[in-house]
Structure 1
Amino acid sequence: MRKIVVLGLVTLAAFTIACSSGNGDTKSSVTGGSSQNVESAATEKTTATAKVGQTVTLTNDTLGDKTTVEITVANPKQFAVEPGDFGSKPDHGVFVVFNVTVVCKQGTYSANPFNFKFVAKDGTVSEGALTVNFKPALNATDLSSGQKVAGKIVFDVPKAAISGGKVQVDGVGLDFDKPAAYWAL
């Protein structure tokens, strides 16, 4: 019985050391101009807020598996109707379309249009809109170090939500469900 307890304690100690080698928190920083830091409601860390067009670098180190990715959200445009002969109209007011570029600098990253949300000034969150005529669309793509992908993301939001709104990207790794950075309009 004593051997089992000792073995269990050794295993627990090894697991604790391995887990403490990286806390898993996604960190964000902005390149190309000034940024703001805003307090995240869920944690005490800060989340970078960039201007649309700036590049944000996300880093995450979970259990020694480091990921570094650069994301740029740029060129916002509004549409009252989707382009094309059979373009749909937005349900909530206006389509807001952004060009997104994702560059994996280290590790691996799953770029996905569903990693992004539109957050209105009042805190209302909108997921990406399902459209077909804003091309090229940002498709879900697994990237390795040195690879990149670019495409458009689309949100269907009330026109009044655009002023003071921002685009949110989710964190990397275990932080997939937490805001990692914002681009302010």
Structure 2
Amino acid sequence: MRKIAMFGLAALAALTLACSSGGGTTSSVSGGEEQSAPAEAKEKTTTTAKVGQKVTLTSDILGEKTVVEVTVANAKQYKVEPGDFGSKPEHGVFLVLDVTVVCKDGTYHANPFNFKFVAKDGTVAEIALTIGFKPTMSAADLSAGQKTNGKIVFDVPKDAVADGKIQIDGTGLDYDKPAAFWAL
């Protein structure tokens, strides 16, 4: 019984060390100044950039470093999807943005589902599945030196766009947490 307890403690210590050694995604802005966050939000380390600025996401999990540069640019609104059979948005407007993802170090799974629209009141919208806005961003596994780009689309209320933000999720163990935002 003592051997099992010792093994359990050793396994717990190893897991704690693994999860605490370098995890977490950090973000930074280039191409202009980072926007200041309200005083109550200062405790968070999530970067907020302006649309058009490049954000660098960095994570280091157990010595596996990932560095990715992401740019969200050219926010445009549409009342109807382009094309002969263009659909109309259900919630107000289609918000269309150009995204570029460049893997600088390590590997990264670029995916349009890594992005969300967040309204001022905290309401979150996932990407809208449309076919008229070309080229669409596709999921891609990137290695250092590789990039992908394309459009992402959100169906959101028109009045939510002005104070809204685009969120990108973190990398590695932080895949389910916001890593950075772009203010519209």
Instruction: Say yes or no: TM over 0.5.
Output: yes
Shift of 1:118: 0.8
Q: Which residue is 2:76 aligned to? A: 77
Matching of residue 137 in structure 1 with residue 136 in structure 2: yes
Q: CA deviation at 1:7?
A: 4.5
Q: TM-score, normalised by structure 2?
A: 0.91
Deviation of the 1:13 alpha carbon: 3.8
4+ long deviations beyond 6 Å: none
Alignment of 1:32-111 (within 5 A): 32-38=31-37, 44-111=43-110
The 3-state SS of whatever aligns with 2:46 is strand
TM-score by structure 1 length? 0.90
1:19 maps to: 19
Corresponding letter in the other structure for 1:77: K
Per-residue deviation, 1:15: 3.8
Count of aligned pairs between the two proteins: 183
* Aligned-pair Cα RMSD in Å: 2.1
Give me the whole-angstrom Cα distance separating, in 2, the residues matched to 1:125 and 1:2.
50
Q: Write the distance in 2 (CA, Å) between the matches of 1:7 and 1:42.
A: 41
AA aligned opposite 1:118 = F
5+ residue gaps, structure 2, are none
The runs of 5 or more residues in structure 1 that have no matched partner are none
Tell me: CA distance 1:120–1:171, structure 2 relative to 1, closer, same or farther (3 Å): same
* Counterpart contact for 1:37–1:47, Cα < 8 Å: no
Structure 2: distance between partners of 1:7 and 1:43: 41
Identity %: 71
